[in-house]
Structure 1
Amino acid sequence: MAPSAPTRPPARTAARTAPPRVLTVAGSDSGGGAGIQADLKTMLALGTHGMSVLTAVTAQNSLGVQGAWELPVAAVRAQYRSVVDDIGVQAVKTGMLASAELVEAVAELLAGTDAPAVVDPVGVSKHGDALLAASALDSVRTKLLPVATVATPNLDEVAQLTGVRVRSEDDMRRAAGAVLAYGPAWVVIKGGHLPGGHEAVDLLTDGSEEHWLRSPRHDNRHTHGTGCTLASALAAGLARGRSVPEAARAAKEYVTGAIAAGFALGGGIGPVDHAWRFRDGTADTAPAP
């Protein structure tokens, strides 16, 4: 029998250039619908490389949060420095920070990082469970919001931070002004919880220009993770070189599709579908213009 031909080693290929890098500083959702898990799924879907700094671990499912344990400040700092000092970032997104100590530590880290920061001032979960200590609210106002490129509070978080109760689009302007007074460059007031209407309306403003972001309101109760997803999508857009208004519009479009495709999971509120664009063939992974 003739000897077989030697196997050739695989051809070498040039290393691919890394995609834009986005870092999420947030808590873990063991159910996979929100938090770090939603952030990383969103970042992948939008053509960026997601990295993570874990701030807290939650026992969480479709019915609510059964337990939460924050990580030590030293562990959060070490994760952040490990990623930023070696790999670098083009944008940072923050989510659940739990305590005043963590809020202040993360604010200090963001202030020393040359990258846009999207701050989602997470206060409560979709099910109404507290994810931020009341004692941390002042630290969010005075330390975290001033270093934000964009803050993305929902209406409950606006009320927590500013006392402004939003019941109409006119109230959203007043709420935006109250949040901007704490120092972020831009704010997105998320109006998804406004009662009635066939549209989900958000207001993006820096105090001088306004962008009203409107989308159809989908009749789907499975919306777990919408806030994390929007903020992460916005950060991904900024990492890819888009302006704040461009990134916000793209993020709104992405999260609207994810809400429309949200699915039942467990016995309560299911998650939005972060992979909806892969299913309909419109994944946005090309370089931003």
Structure 2
Amino acid sequence: MGEPTVGVTPPRVLTIAGTDSGGGAGVAADLRAFTGCGVHGCIAVTAVTVQNSVGVTGVHPIPPETVAAQIETVAGDIGLDAAKTGMLASRPIIEAIVAACDRVGIGGTGPIPFVIDPVAASMHGDPLLADEALDAYRTLLFPRATVITPNLDEVRLLVGIDVHDRSAQYDAAKVLHGLGPQYVLVKGGHLEEDVDRCVDLLYDGHTFTELPGPRFDTGNTHGGGDSMGAAIASGLARGLAVPEAVAFGKRYVVEAVRHSYPLGAGHGPVSPLWAVRHWWEEPTP
């Protein structure tokens, strides 16, 4: 018998995000995670950034109509089993994305699950989202989301809650769920009270689920949020229910951080290589 993957089309997932010239975050991180999770990745680029491991020195948005055309062209030919967002740059781009997603059935009442990672700043603190776009996230994207995945900095920007303890993490999840997503995942990577673990909190409007994981002593976490969102979308594309897809994404990113590596003079990236068979180290057949 041949290998089971030969000639078999894997699940297809679209990332709608910006580039990272350093290869650690954005569409680069998403495509790396898609491969690690066994799905085919497609892209709709929203902006080209100029960045390395130290910081972002330029952001160049793509015309909104070009972003929308990428989404519709991919969905119309290749088809999609899930989609996710990353850095969206501006309100006009978000509006174009919403219109395109409605036309092809991504999110909302459509059949294609939609993961919204509300990226507002890089891990270096460099702004990646114009101020007027925050309201577009709240009013246009969140009501269409299967799950949103803000970190604590994004929670503060989106709903004004400064999360310093578990109680505030629960409060933030409730407020964010009121904006319309089916599920909210408040990521706890920056929570000060968790010294030796990282607890993400999932909420569906009725039930809270804590997802604990180890905290690693490393600054090489570039692209971690992007990678987790991509892994969650991959789980949804594989047919997992949201709680199981989130647990799938949590497992992926824990191992990606565990295997992260230094790169350049700043923050290195999380690594998908733990999920890839090292065929190049095997004997030549």
Q: 1:186 aligns with which of 165, 171, 183?
A: 183
Tell me, yes or no, if the aligned pair for 1:119 and 1:145 is still in contact at 8 Å.
Answer: yes
2:73 corresponds to which of 75, 82, 85: 82
- In structure 1, how many angstroms separate the alpha carbons of the residues matched to 2:278 and 2:176? 37
Match of 1:216 in 2: 214
Q: Which moved more, 1:72-81 or 1:110-119?
A: 110-119
Asked if the contact 2:202–2:209 (Cα under 8 Å) also holds between the matched residues in 1, the reply is: yes
Once the 2 structures are TM-superposed, how far is the Cα of residue 250 of structure 1 from its aligned partner?
A: 1.1
SS of the residue 1:110 aligns to: helix
In structure 2, the residue matched to 1:262 is: 260
Q: Residue 145 of structure 1 corresponds to which residue in structure 2?
A: 142
- The correspondence of residues 117-136 of structure 1 with structure 2, limited to 5 A, is 117-136=114-133
Match of 2:249 among 234, 248, 251: 251
Q: Is the 8 A contact 2:24 2:223 kept in 1?
A: yes
CA distance in 2, matches of 1:50, 1:184: 24
Identify unmatched segments of 5+ residues in structure 1: 1-13, 282-289
Report SS of the residue matched to 1:29.
Answer: coil
Match in the other structure for 2:31: 40
Distance (whole Å) between structure 2 residues aligned to residue 162 and residue 104 of structure 1: 20
Deviations 1:22-68 (A, max 9, x none): 00000000100000000001001101000000000001100000101
Whole-angstrom distance in 1 between the partners of 2:277 and 2:186: 30
CA displacement, residues 129-170 of structure 1 (integer Å, 9 cap, x when unaligned): 000000111111100111000000000101101001111111
The alpha carbon displacement at 1:279 in A equals 5.9
Instruction: Report how far residue 111 of structure 1 moved.
Output: 3.1
Q: Which amino acid aligns with 1:142?
A: T
Provide the C-alpha distance between the structure 2 equivalents of 1:223 and 1:105, rounded to a whole number of angstroms: 31
CA distance in structure 1 between the partners assigned to 2:157 and 2:206 by the alignment: 24
Q: Distance in 2 between matches of 1:204 and 1:109?
A: 28
Alignment partner of 1:162 is 2:153? no
What secondary structure, in the 3-state scheme, does the structure 2 residue paired with 1:212 have?
strand
**Residues 214-249 of structure 1: CA distance to partner in whole angstroms, max 9, x if unpaired?**
001011110000110000000000000001000101
The SS at the match of 2:89 is coil
When the two chains are superposed, the root-mean-square deviation of aligned CA atoms in Å is 1.5
TM-score normalised to the size of structure 1?
0.90
Inter-partner Cα distance in structure 2 for 1:107 and 1:40: 22
In structure 2, runs of 5+ residues without a counterpart are 106-110, 280-285
Cα deviation for residue 277 of structure 1 reads 2.3
Q: 2:86 maps to what in 1?
A: 95
Aligned residues: 268
Q: Which amino acid aligns with 1:111?
A: D
What is the rounded CA distance, in whole Å, between the counterparts of 2:277 and 2:61 in structure 1?
Answer: 35
> In structure 2, what is the Cα distance between the partners aligned to 1:174 and 1:280?
44
Structure-2 separation of matches of 1:19 and 1:206: 29
- 1:232 aligns with one of 230, 233, 254: 230
- Maintained 8 Å contact 2:65/2:96: no
Aligned position for 2:54: 63
**Rg larger in 1 or in 2?**
1
Contact 1:110 1:147 (C-alpha < 8 Å) held by counterparts? no
How many Å separate the matches in 1 of 2:68 and 2:277? 37
TM-score, length of structure 2 as denominator length: 0.91
CA distance in 1, matches of 2:247, 2:118: 20
Give the secondary-structure state (helix, strand or coil) at the position aligned to 1:85: helix
The one-letter code matched in structure 2 to 1:238 is: L
**Deviation beyond 3 Å, 4+ runs, structure 1:** none
| Number of the residue aligned with 1:275 | 273
Matched-pair contact (CA < 8 Å) for 1:111–1:147: no
Q: Report the identity percentage.
A: 48
Paired residue type of 1:245: P
Aligned equivalents of 1:243, 1:155: Cα separation in 2: 25
